Structure 1
Amino acid sequence: MSVSAMDTMSGKLGLIDLKYNNPRKHISISIPSKTEDMSPHIKSVDELRVLGINLSSFSQPAQFSICVVGVFVFYLIYGYLQELIFSMEGFKPFGWYLTLVQFGFYSMFGLVELQLTQDKSRRIPGKTYMMIAFLSVATMGLSNTSLGYLNYPTQVIFKCCKLIPVMIGGVFIQGKRYNLVDVSAAVCMSLGLIWFTLSDSKVAPNFNLTGVLLISLALCADAVIGNVQEKAMKLHNGSNSEMVLYSYSIGFVYILVGLSCIGGLGPAVAFCAQHPVKTYGYAFSFSLTGYFGISFVLALIKLFGALVAVTVTTGRKAMTIVLSFMFFSKPFTFQYVWGGLLVIFGIFLNVYSKNMDKMKLPSLADIGQRIMSGKKTRPLSQTV
């Protein structure tokens, strides 16, 4: 075989830099382009299904709309049921046990969904899942436990302030860079929700330092977990059902061991045995809607990133607060309205930032320059 024929064959096989007179031979394999044939396994990775819906067959705006509707519908029901459970007399000390039951249901739901998919292999390493499970336990466990010390709107308001920690986590974990509009959006949303908190403290003081500490720790864990999930899913092409199954099943073991060690398992089981329908029945519906909501949140993270997912969930939480005032009797003040308007403005800034390049919208700096130039030319036109 001639040298030219060997070069041609090596070019077809993607072998590069194969030199015979060099004692250190280097072989690199080229990656096929999207137009070339790929294995069925790699093709299946590109399919993103949520509750049986193949989002890959829709356009990007349609994908975003479906995910947003799913997050709002299921998480609004989730929030209502969560507040309903903790409104039961005597249930507030058992927030960690509710998290244990919730993780158990999530694991079963994830196992069923994974069995219905074609690809049942685990792609994300076990060490990564142990970290995600720990963060999930911290996020949901501390959040549920804080409801024993704080009222529900205050707890939701604190959780909404995670937009800035998510951005900070994106910078340090994934090396992301955010523009001025994204930072302004996060600041507006956080200030608006803090205004909610201050208003609530005036009209219905129900603050407890323990509750504030618990929800603050949950906020920090929640800020990290979105970035870790996004990085793991993009790096290893893990599916949503795989992420839910392994992270929550490992988290279930964490909580079970923890409750057994501190002796908190017996009293919780005894209390729930006295009220099985209101505890386990609500917990099942609460977990089912939460599981559906998590599926859409993970799809948002995989398709649009952690910051967009947090922005959508923050808007959902603001709506949850409104519904909480509607369905559960609470004092009201118009300062809630001003804080809500500030949150809405922050959401608008974030959406505007995400669509500036796609829709060729002017940046805020350009708008500011146009306004300033208009002010400078106006006196001149008046004198003429």
Structure 2
Amino acid sequence: MQGNTKFLICSAGIFVCYFYFGILQEKITRGKYSYDEVEENGAITRVEERYTYALALVFVQCLVNYFFAKGMLYVKPHGEDTTPTLYCASSALTYLLAMVCSNMALQWVAYPTQVVGKAGKPIPVMILGVLIGRKSYPLKKYIFVMMIVVGVILFMYKDKAGSKQIDGGFGLGELLILLSLTMDGLTGAVQERIKAEAKPTAQQMMCGMNAFACVFLVVALLLSGELIKFIEFISRHPSVLSNILLLALAGALGQLFIFLTVTEFGPLPCSVITTTRKFFTVLASVIIFGNVLSGRQWIGAIIVFTGLFLDVFFSKGTQKKK
């Protein structure tokens, strides 16, 4: 009973934190920001722009995550973290690339498309879990995942006439979602190894991954020149900074619950929880931001989340070591 209670608490924490996180993420990345630009002749032109700094956004998230985990370790010290540096750096890199690709995709696709696309996360987690994490799964797990695949295909397929993508029916946004899913699968597989070999606590895993992620991001921000552009954008639109900080805080709390779930129950149940909650984020996005879905997309979304709910109720605790 205690295990079930802990599972429900972790699930509720992920749901609440990332529901708010999703709303803020769409508000930041899909919103339009205006400012007055004074030209050389003294004329004032109204300029409209959008937020496009994915690396900077992820850096703020990782930095807040790191200090959040570090603070928890300071308040309640744990034993020494014996996670190999290579494992920690590898999981940080793949986790980082998954976040960057996911955020960048929002420049080309609506949030519901990103959400349902990312709902396919159990697919690469399972495949790479078998190949790298040395896991095996029962037949019904594969059936539920096939439902997710079919639903995602139905949702992501776009009629050419009604497509607003810059590259046609399958555009850059969808490609970035696929890359993000691949990185999610690699992250889950490496986390399985870390969990089995080093057995770190949730706070230690969160602290170590985000520390490496911050180092990688600082290098990327400096080399790309995005840091200066981000600072200039914030100076023109200071209200965006508060939303970014709230986003990072919600993400830090949500990530703590995610790492608690990973360390207690494994990456696959965690991926099922995080994708299940996205159904409600899709509904909120449709209602709040007016992202209209076609009938086919609604059918695809229902199939995806039906597969996820079935997996929650019938496949929990069925993972086996090879």
Q: Which residue of 1 aligns with 2:180?
A: 218
Q: Which residue of 2 aligns with 1:3?
A: none
Larger Rg: 1
Q: Which residue of 1 aligns with 2:192?
A: 230
Q: Which residue of 1 aligns with 2:93?
A: 134
Q: Which residue of 2 aligns with 1:117?
A: 76
Matches within 5 A, 1:218-367: 218-278=180-240, 280-354=241-315
Q: Cα–Cα, structure 1 residues 356 and 88, in superposed 2: closer, same or farther, change >3 Å?
A: closer
Deviations 1:29-61, CA, capped at 9 Å, x for gaps = xxxxxxxxxxxxxxxxxxxxxxxxxxxxx6121
The Cα of 1:196 is off from its aligned counterpart by: 2.0
Q: Cα–Cα, structure 1 residues 200 and 329, in superposed 2: closer, same or farther, change >3 Å?
A: farther
* Worse overlay, 228-237 or 158-167: 228-237
Letter aligned with residue 244 of structure 2 = A
Q: Cα–Cα, structure 1 residues 179 and 65, in superposed 2: closer, same or farther, change >3 Å?
A: same
CA distance in 2, matches of 1:77, 1:198: 28
Deviations 1:41-99, CA, capped at 9 Å, x for gaps = xxxxxxxxxxxxxxxxx612111111111111111001001001112323332111111
Query: Does the 8 Å contact 2:133/2:192 carry over to 1?
Result: no
CA distance in 2, matches of 1:106, 1:221: 19
Whether 1:180 aligns to 2:121 is: no
Whether 1:168 aligns to 2:140 is: no
Query: Does the 8 Å contact 2:99/2:180 carry over to 1?
Result: yes
Query: Does the 8 Å contact 1:107/1:245 carry over to 2?
Result: yes
Query: Does the 8 Å contact 1:136/1:248 carry over to 2?
Result: no
Q: How many residues align?
A: 299
Deviations 1:108-152, CA, capped at 9 Å, x for gaps = 212111111122632212222111111121111111122122221
Q: Cα–Cα, structure 1 residues 201 and 98, in superposed 2: closer, same or farther, change >3 Å?
A: farther
CA distance in 2, matches of 1:329, 1:131: 38
* Worse overlay, 199-208 or 252-261: 199-208
Letter aligned with residue 173 of structure 1 = I
Letter aligned with residue 203 of structure 2 = S
Letter aligned with residue 103 of structure 1 = C
Q: Which residue of 1 aligns with 2:8?
A: 65
CA distance in 2, matches of 1:106, 1:352: 31
Give the CA RMSD over aligned residues: 2.1
Note the residue ranges of structure 2 that are not aligned, 5 or more in a row.
33-48
CA distance in 1, matches of 2:317, 2:101: 37
TM-score (norm 1): 0.73
The Cα of 1:198 is off from its aligned counterpart by: 2.6
Segments of 4+ moved more than 3 angstroms: 199-204
CA distance in 1, matches of 2:59, 2:26: 17
The Cα of 1:329 is off from its aligned counterpart by: 1.2
The Cα of 1:356 is off from its aligned counterpart by: 9.0
Secondary structure in structure 2 of the residue aligned to 1:218? helix
Query: Does the 8 Å contact 1:146/1:212 carry over to 2?
Result: yes
Letter aligned with residue 272 of structure 1 = I
CA distance in 1, matches of 2:172, 2:291: 22
Letter aligned with residue 101 of structure 1 = V
Secondary structure in structure 1 of the residue aligned to 2:136? coil
The Cα of 1:328 is off from its aligned counterpart by: 0.4
CA distance in 2, matches of 1:114, 1:207: 46
Query: Does the 8 Å contact 1:132/1:247 carry over to 2?
Result: yes
CA distance in 1, matches of 2:20, 2:207: 22
The Cα of 1:238 is off from its aligned counterpart by: 0.7
CA distance in 1, matches of 2:148, 2:304: 4
Q: Which residue of 2 aligns with 1:365?
A: none
The Cα of 1:355 is off from its aligned counterpart by: 5.6
The Cα of 1:352 is off from its aligned counterpart by: 4.4
Q: Which residue of 2 aligns with 1:196?
A: 155
Letter aligned with residue 292 of structure 2 = P
Q: Which residue of 2 aligns with 1:25?
A: none
CA distance in 2, matches of 1:337, 1:276: 37
Q: Cα–Cα, structure 1 residues 333 and 109, in superposed 2: closer, same or farther, change >3 Å?
A: same
